Amino acid sequence: MLEDAGESKPTLTLRLFRFVCKAWALLAHNYSFQLMAQPSTSSCKLSLAFESGRALSIEIILGVRRGDSLVFLASHGAETGHPSSTVWLEIFAVQEMLFLQMVSRYAPQDSCHLKCLQILIHLKECRLPTLENRILTTYNFKTALMHLLLFLPLWAWGLEQLAKRLQGILLYLRRCLEKKHLYHFLIVNSALPSQIPVPKDFWNAEPLNLFQHLALEPAAHAQATSEFLEVMEQVRALLPQRSK
């Protein structure tokens, strides 16, 4: 995150890319890559190209800290998935990281919660690689996971429960899609552990519905449902079938 609000976004992006290139040159590499900048109006997008032709995409989001809190104004809102060239949104990535770290400390050593998220994101990206304007975002799956981590006891997230937890996340998200309501995890959440630092004004705010745009746009809701069904079919194919 950068904390210089006095510079324009293109200037910040150029400075950040130069910094990454300088740091990259100092690393010892086991593989040969080609580092390239990708066009973007809301973040610093980089592409690492292997000699084999395989490419790895990296997105660095620009941010300005909000006072002395751990909330940032960011150039790209993961919550919405719709970046804007003029509006910077408040994000809670630090609080979410602290929450997941807390879960990892108290959950079973072989906890599957992060594996569930990795699987769902991988299936979403692989199944819909050519769809440019996807409605469901990685953040939607992450939000569903975090809500369930508060709802279910942590001992229920052992590795042997992976299949059940994957199905549980999908069931939760399906209900949210049907109701067109997926509430932000950190805003007005009375079940949130007190150790997670959320500014007081967010405790008294109105709940934020991440699916509000789906309630207003029937076409977007239909597309989100279609994308969800694609992921659900992938998960069903992945999990072992129960014998009848």
pLDDT digits (tens, 9 = 90+) for 176-204: 999 999 999 998 888 888 888 888 888 88
**Structure token digits, residue 69:** 């809190």
Q: How far is CA 96 from the centre of its chain?
A: 10
What is the number of other CB atoms lying within 10 angstroms of the CB of residue 127? 13
For residues 103 and 215, state if they share a domain. yes
Q: How far is CA 211 from the centre of its chain?
A: 15
Please tell me the distance from the alpha carbon of residue 16 to that of residue 62, in angstroms, as a whole number.
9
Higher per-residue pLDDT: 175 or 90 = 175
For residues 85 and 177, state if they share a domain. no
For residues 86 and 100, state if they share a domain. no
Spatial contact of 235 and 169, defined as CB atoms under 8 Å apart:
no
Predicted TM-score (pTM) of this structure: 0.76
Q: Mean pLDDT score of the chain, rounded to an integer? A: 80
For residues 207 and 225, state if they share a domain. yes
- Structural domain that includes position 33: 1-91
Spatial contact of 60 and 47, defined as CB atoms under 8 Å apart:
no
For residues 165 and 234, state if they share a domain. yes
Of the given ranges (35-39, 67-71, 178-182, 186-190), which has the lowest mean pLDDT?
A: 35-39
For residues 134 and 216, state if they share a domain. yes
pLDDT of residue 205: 82
Please report which helix (H) or strand (E) contains residue 159, including its range.
none
Higher per-residue pLDDT: 95 or 202 = 95
CATH number for 124: 1.10.1410.40
Among the three residues 65, 91, 117, which one is the final residue of a domain in this structure?
Answer: 91
What is the number of other CB atoms lying within 10 angstroms of the CB of residue 90? 17
pLDDT of residue 54: 76
For residues 27 and 127, state if they share a domain. no
Of the given ranges (57-61, 104-108, 189-193), which has the lowest mean pLDDT?
A: 57-61
Residues in contact with 233: Cβ distance below 8 Å, sequence separation at least 6, in sequence order: none
For residues 73 and 165, state if they share a domain. no
Tokens 């000699």, residue located: 51
Tokens 């719709």, residue located: 82
For residues 28 and 134, state if they share a domain. no
User: Helices 113-127 and 218-238: crossing angle, nearest 10°?
Assistant: 110
- The count of structural domains within the chain is 2
For residues 230 and 134, state if they share a domain. yes
Distances (CA, A) of 110 to 138, 143, 163, 168, 235: 23, 21, 14, 18, 21
Tokens 């910094």, residue located: 19
Percent with pLDDT over 70 in the chain: 78
For residues 77 and 144, state if they share a domain. no
Among the three residues 56, 91, 126, which one is the final residue of a domain in this structure?
Answer: 91
For residues 127 and 201, state if they share a domain. yes
Q: Does 131 score more than 80 pLDDT?
A: no
The model's confidence at residue 241, banded by pLDDT at 50, 70 and 90, is: low
What average pLDDT does this structure show over 18-40? 70
Sign (positive or negative) of CA dihedral 180, 181, 185, 191 = negative
Residues in contact with 88: Cβ distance below 8 Å, sequence separation at least 6, in sequence order: 64, 73, 74, 75
Q: Which residue, among 93, 69, 197, 82, has the nearest Cα to 134 in the 3D structure?
A: 82
Please tell me the distance from the alpha carbon of residue 136 to that of residue 176, in angstroms, as a whole number.
12
Please tell me the distance from the alpha carbon of residue 225 to that of residue 189, in angstroms, as a whole number.
26
**Structure token digits, residue 62:** 């620009």
Q: What is the DSSP string of 189-215?
A: -TTS-TTS---HHHHSSPPPBTTHHHH
Per-residue pLDDT tens digits for 211-234: 999 999 999 999 999 999 999 999
Q: Does 76 score more than 70 pLDDT?
A: no
pLDDT of residue 244: 42
Among the three residues 41, 56, 91, which one is the final residue of a domain in this structure?
Answer: 91
Q: Does 6 score more than 60 pLDDT?
A: no
Q: How many CA atoms lie within 13 A of 62 on its CB side?
A: 26
Higher per-residue pLDDT: 133 or 90 = 90
